Structure 1
Amino acid sequence: MGPDVEEAATVHLPRPARCSVLLLTGALLLTACGSGAGSGSSGKPAPAGARAVTLDNCGQEVTVGAPPKRAVSLNQGTTEILLSLGLADRMVGTATWTDPVMKGLERAAAKVPRLADDQPSFERVLDVEPDFVASSFASTLGKGGVAPRDRFEELGVPTYLSPADCEGKDNSGDGDGSRTKPLTMDTVHREVRELARVFGVEERGERLVARLGSRVAEAASGIRAGDTTVLYWFANQESPYMAGCCGAPGVITNALGAKNVFDDTTQEWPQINWETVADRDPDVLVIGDLTRRSQTAESAEKKIAFLESNPATRNMEAVREKRYVLLSGQAMNPTIRTVEGVEKVAAALREYGLAG
């Protein structure tokens, strides 16, 4: 997030709730917004003829007065849901990309301005006058992120947080949080349905959910991999982030009946030393193939080169046999692309003769 403005200034607000905001001695002083009713989560009546939607979102009541026309998605996961729902023409910005956009969405994504490849500043988001802001991660709409949710909603901008990052998950500690309940695709399906409802395209949401469910069922059909162990490496070479039991990699593993070698930790992405990794000696290595550049060994090519040269890992069975599965970062996060992860890991288990 960018630094706060220290002198009096006028901030561009969403068109349904446009008003001046004065920053004075660090406090926000809002002038009256005569046209803002129903645009935020204040519970005020929606304008005549509008279709208000109220959601219980991660413990916060959110009211959207009418289907958004100027939405911003702050993470790739929510962006790809909105694009899959055919909503590119109602988006004015995206941000925080780890991978190329999902196949089939390239033309739609090209129509939406990218505010930043990584995390944009609060001011940059306000510049495009959003009337709705969605995020995949609590950290993005929290302290140290773009801005806390209440800063947007003070300005009449309703926010939405992916339930997969808050329900059954404790984000209070360091790192990426811990799961108090295993994630399932039902939570991702709920996100699709809720966003479809907000935008008034419920039928599109149901069709997308049905396609996702069919793809998982088809990919997992006939696979019984109960004796197969899998490890998921997302990023970082020095202190690698490996998947714990119960996030998106858990969805993939459980769909195929396999076993995650680190299913004894509920942390979303614990950092684990290489000696421990080698000791677990998984049958298959699922490797994040990222295009971002915020950690070491982001690409699969760099990860594999490290595994095959490092004394602690080069003699692991999966490394010797080159049993690698390359996944996008989005497929390893709780998104609609987790289905892509199920498909690719299933195909690899069949190829390696480990499908049961």
Structure 2
Amino acid sequence: MKRIALSLMATLMAGSAYAEVTVKSCDREVSFDAPPSAAISNDVNLTEMMLVLGLRDKMVGYTGISGWKTLDEEMREGVAELPELSEKYPTKEVLIGADADFYFAGWNYGMKVGGEVTPETLEPFGIKVYELTESCIHIGNKPKVSMDDMYNDLLNLGKVFGVEDRAETLVSAYKADLEEFKAALNPSDEPLKVFVYDSGEDKPFTAGRYAMPTALIEAAGGVNVLDDFEKSWAKVDWETVVEKNPEMVVIVNYGNVTAEEKRDFMRNNPALANIDAVKNDRFVTLEYVEATPGPRNVKAVKKLGNAFWGD
């Protein structure tokens, strides 16, 4: 009943300003006749997308952060008034129990293919799902990842929540900021060869063709050495990395193993000693929230560009 009352209130407040909205979410179309009023986001980067659009008052909580990651000061302030409903992926019962009417998640960002929490399993309970664009590769074909994946999500969220002008202004500012930075870069004629090291010692977990770091690296004047790896985030073998011989390694920082420990592993592994990046000690760190689709992606490109081409 609470959700029905809130939805009715939202409809009345929106009045004629909110016409029915339909957005593309992976291979589905999702329609809304009023802005959601009891939204839940999963993971730190998706939650930041909601916050940067000023949607905290439309949220009843978030999930999937503290089970893997810690919140920095900026993020803690953003979610200060919101409860974390589940430390890791939420169950269906968690979402229903929160009386949610909207779930912003992705495949391997709060939902698993064939799992208990999917758009189809939540639909009977009046919970509409918008899927992170980058993650759509897990349920079908999509183009190679690009910065437009992140922009697309912000613009679609803007439409869904009736803050389209805010979203368009934000995306335009991100694009202008990025273009200004790229114009000032002085890259070499050949893109810098870059490997993304997320985690793992026996086999590295890395970013392939469909994972956001590939787009960030390209925007910074580099090329992911696993650009031909037809995966999003996945494991490869170290022999492949040695063969690709990256000139720079991007460390993704989160979890119990620190970025410094990951660097030390690569530096001290004799099998990796002849990789150019290791020989020349060329490493740069991205925080998880920078390496995944979200508002900090432009900052991430700047960090990479300065590491790639700075003095």
For residues 115-126 of structure 1, the aligned pairs below 5 Å read: 115-126=85-96
Does residue 207 of structure 2 align to residue 219 of structure 1? no
Specify the SS of the correspondent of 1:69: coil
Q: Which of 192, 201, 223 in structure 1 is aligned with 2:154? A: 192
Question: Which of residues 263, 267, 273 in structure 1 aligns to 2:237?
Answer: 273
Partner of 1:286: 250
Aligned-pair distance for 1:180? 4.7
**Which position in structure 1 is the counterpart of 2:163?**
201
1:313 to 2:277 alignment: no
- TM-score by structure 1 length? 0.76
Q: Taking structure 2 as the reference length, what is the TM-score of the superposition?
A: 0.86
Residues 53 and 63 in structure 1, CA contact (< 8 A), matched pair in contact too? yes
Residue 201 of structure 1 deviates from its aligned partner by: 1.2
Mapped partners of 1:59, 1:126: distance in 2: 24
Is the CA contact 1:142–1:149 (under 8 Å) kept in the aligned structure 2?
no
1:36 is displaced (CA, Å) by 8.6
Aligned to 2:106: 136
* Aligned residue in 1 for 2:124: 154
One-letter amino acid of the counterpart of residue 16, structure 1: I
What amino acid maps onto 1:299 in structure 2?
T
Change (3 A) 1:103 1:86: farther
Does the alignment pair 1:73 with 2:37?
no
Match of 1:29 in 2: none
| Shift, 1:267, TM fit | 1.5
Q: Deviations over 1:208-256 (max 9, x none)?
A: 2122212322332233242421111122222211222343122122213
Give the direction of change, closer, same or farther, for the CA distance of 1:218–1:237 in structure 2 (3 Å limit): farther
Give the one of 249, 252, 261 matched to 2:225.
Answer: 261
- Mark the CA change 1:145 to 1:76 in structure 2 (over 3 Å): closer, same or farther: farther
From 3, 27, 30, give the equivalent of 1:15: 3
Which residue in 2 is equivalent to 1:349?
308
Could you tell me how far apart the structure 2 residues matched to 1:301 and 1:213 are? 32
What CA deviation, in whole Å up to 9, does each residue of 1:88-146 have, x standing for no partner? 12211111225445764432211211112321222122221112111133663344545
Q: Distance in 2 between matches of 1:138 and 1:281?
A: 29
Matched ranges for 1:238-257 at <5 A = 238-257=202-221
| Displacement after TM superposition at 1:71 (Å) | 0.6
The amino acid that maps onto 1:236 is G
Please tell me whether Structure 1 or Structure 2 has the larger radius of gyration of its CA atoms.
1
User: 1:113 & 1:212 partners in 2: Cα distance?
Assistant: 29
Unaligned 5+ runs, structure 2? none
- Whether the 8 Å CA contact 2:23–2:29 is kept in 1: the answer is yes
Count of residues paired in the alignment: 303
Mapping 1:227-238, distance limit 5 Å: 227-238=191-202
* Percent of aligned pairs with the same amino acid: 29
Instruction: Note closer, same or farther for the CA distance 1:236–1:340 as it changes in structure 2 (3 Å cut).
Output: farther
Which segment drifts farther, 49-58 or 316-325?
Answer: 49-58
Structure 1 position 318, deviation (Å):
1.6
Q: Does 1:64 align with 2:28?
A: no
Aligned counterpart, 1:85: 53
Shift of 1:84: 0.5
Distance 2:170 2:260 in 1: 33
- Structure 1: unaligned runs, 5 residues or longer: 1-12, 18-34, 40-45, 173-178
Contact 1:94–1:113 (8 Å) recurs in 2: yes
Residue 53 of structure 1 corresponds to which residue in structure 2? 21
| Inter-CA distance 156–74: structure 2 relative to 1 (3 Å threshold) | same
Q: CA RMSD in A?
A: 2.7
CA distance in 1, matches of 2:133, 2:25: 7
CA distance 1:92–1:333, change in 2 (3 Å): same
Counterparts of 2:266 and 2:35 in 1: how far apart (Å)?
49
Structure 2 CA distance for partners of 1:115 and 1:240, relative to 1, 3 Å: same
